[in-house]
Amino acid sequence: MSSVDRRHSILPEFLRRALDGLYLAAGYLGGAFLVATFAIMLSLSAGRPLGVDIPAGDDFTAWCMAATAFLPLAHTFRSAELIRMGLLIDRIGGAPRRALEIACTAIATLAVGYFAWYAVDMTLTSWKFNDVSQGVIPVPLWIPQIGMSLGLVILEVAFVDELLHLLFGGMPRYEKPVPKTKEEIIERVMESGV
């Protein structure tokens, strides 16, 4: 099946583009936090020998790393780059495989929804009670918590999107198609870093 057929969506084109844009924007935002992590760590490392201290640099680095971990999850999921354990499901075909794909996606949707709900609740509670960090620079904790909460909410949207796609007869978009040529196999191995 071609990649065009696998990507067919039940959603109107404008909504499909909006969701794909959201996933891509979250991926770019996660990349921006990765660059920020690098810049802060480089400044900390270069500043120590020169006697320059960056107040709460370790805290800011940790918060940037958390945003880097959570924000791009939806983009990674939709790009078929999440690690997938296919030991069982890859050996099944036809209707049983389709049912198992739907069941696994539904379970993942519930699990991510549960995690997202409590992450958002934690962020709102921090905002409500005006919790601040205990470091050198008191930062309201809801600010760094937004990265995790937003990343999980966008991932939940991606899972609901994928579950609806599967329920309405679409093929899974979170897995890459089986390679058909030797060159494709070699390219996949090279991409995996094995």
What's the whole-number average pLDDT of the chain?
88
Q: Considering only CA atoms, which of 99, 98, 105, 65 is closest in space to residue 84?
A: 105
Q: How far apart are CA 115 and CA 123, in angstroms?
A: 12
41-68 tens-digit pLDDT: 999 998 888 888 888 889 999 999 999 9
pLDDT of residue 112: 97
Distance separating alpha carbons of residues 60 and 34, to the nearest angstrom: 12
Determine what percent of the chain is predicted with pLDDT higher than 90: 61
Residue 192 is predicted with a pLDDT of 66
pLDDT per residue over 86-134, tens digit each?
777 778 888 998 999 999 999 999 999 999 999 999 999 999 999 999 9
DSSP H helices, 71-178, are: 73-78, 94-128, 142-167
36: which 2 tokens?
A: 């920020």
Number of H helices, E strands in the chain: 7, 0
Between CA 112 and CA 162 the distance in angstroms is 13
pLDDT band at 193 (very low <50, low <70, confident <90, very high): low
Whether 2 shows a pLDDT value over 70: the answer reads no
Region 18-24: mean pLDDT is: 95
Percent pLDDT > 70 in the chain is 93
Q: What confidence score (pLDDT) does residue 93 get?
A: 84
